[in-house]
Structure 1
Amino acid sequence: MTRRAALLPAALLAAGLTLAACSGGGQDAAAKPAGGGAPKLTVSGAYMPQPVGDLAAGFLVVHNAGRGGDKLTSVTSPLSESVSIHKTVDNRMVEVTSFDVPPGGTLDLARGGNHIMLMGIAHPPKQGQRVELDLHFRKTGAIKVTVPVKAANYQPPATP
């Protein structure tokens, strides 16, 4: 009986360790991020005011109807080899490496705020022409946008 009593705690310990090792819902499962999903991006309201020199700005709205976020990481264009993305801080442009596009949200690139900057344009486009931009996103990849060139003082209609 004493031998059996001595083996009982060891057997219980072994059974407990076996159950813990086989369990699918331990700490590792809780540490994994929940939710997620893929971004679902669309672009609207794109325009470029007619440049007066070799600099141009691009404005647009990226909508994300997906359950996962994304990041705009760069923009390219046949119009210029030097294209960057900027935010405006204290009325100054500051180049950034990316912009977040939150799940179910938008990225608004607008006058006076976040925007696309094209520098060193050899042949500035005129009002009525169109410019191609390729928006590069971390998860979605590239989205090609054809941007109309508007009057230099163009203001898009306010959205409700």
Structure 2
Amino acid sequence: MRRRLAPAALVIAGALALAGCGGSASDSGSGSGKAELSVGSAYMPQPVSDEMAAGFFTVTNKGGAADELTSVTSDVAGQVTVHETTGGAMQEVKALKVPAHGELVLKSGGNHLMFEQLKRKPKEGQTVSVELHFAHSGPVKVEMPVKSATYNPKTGH
């Protein structure tokens, strides 16, 4: 452990360590000890393949406890997997952390969802329903609009 951290970094590191040590029982206490999750900026680029698609969104946690995105289900795909991108390499993971008072961002070129074994190919203008499952919080349903294959959320095109 580093000895010279800024005071704010020490507070954040301590809060994350405490949130990670409590297990599921830590979420049943006071209001500040629970994750408070919301999802925004969700979209799926229109898939170019008949078999796979990607999905992106941001999970915001306003609560005092961390959580983890553990799985995703959707009626449009036989399987939805969670991937992280590290050093340009993509790999499937069992979970992605949602920090207390922080965000989990899934974006093109970074962490993302892979919709595999598509049952239908979503088209631009449609929506795809997904259900996000977390380690401690209840499931969250999201309507993910299908955008153009080259959609860039920064420009809106």
Which bin holds the TM-score, normalised by the shorter protein? Answer: 0.7 to 0.9
1:146 paired with 2:143, answer yes
The more displaced of 140-149 and 87-96 is 87-96
Query: Which residue identity is paired with 2:108?
Result: R
Amino acid aligned to 2:141: K
Aligned to 1:89, which of 61, 86, 97?
A: 86
Q: Is 1:48 aligned with 2:44?
A: yes
State the one-letter code of the partner of 2:145.
P
Residue 70 (structure 1) aligned to one of 63, 67, 74: 67
- State which of 102, 108, 112 in structure 1 corresponds to 2:109: 112
1:135 CA displacement: 0.4
Matches of 2:111 and 2:83, distance apart in 1: 6
Partner Cα distance (2:77, 2:129) in 1: 10
Of the three residues 35, 40, 53, the one matched with 1:39 is: 35
1: CA distance, partners of 2:126 / 2:101: 32
C-alpha contact 2:71 2:133 (8 A) present in aligned 1: yes
**Which whole-Å deviations, capped at 9, do the CAs of 1:102-138 have from their partners, x for residues lacking one?**
1100000000000010011131110000000100011
- 146-155 vs 90-99, greater mean Cα deviation: 90-99
The number of residue pairs the alignment matches comes to 127
The offset of 1:92, in angstroms, is: 2.4
Report the secondary structure of 1:120's partner residue. Answer: strand
Structure 1 residue runs of 5 or longer lacking an equivalent are 1-31
TM-superposed CA distance for 1:88, in Å, is 1.1
- Runs (5+) with no aligned partner, structure 2: 1-20
Residue deviations 1:16-61, cap 9 Å, x none?
A: xxxxxxxxxxxxxxxx979970000000000000001111000000
Pairwise CA RMSD of aligned residues?
Answer: 1.9
Identity of aligned residues (%): 45
Matched position secondary structure for 1:112 = coil
Q: Which runs of 4+ in 1 moved over 6 A?
A: 32-36
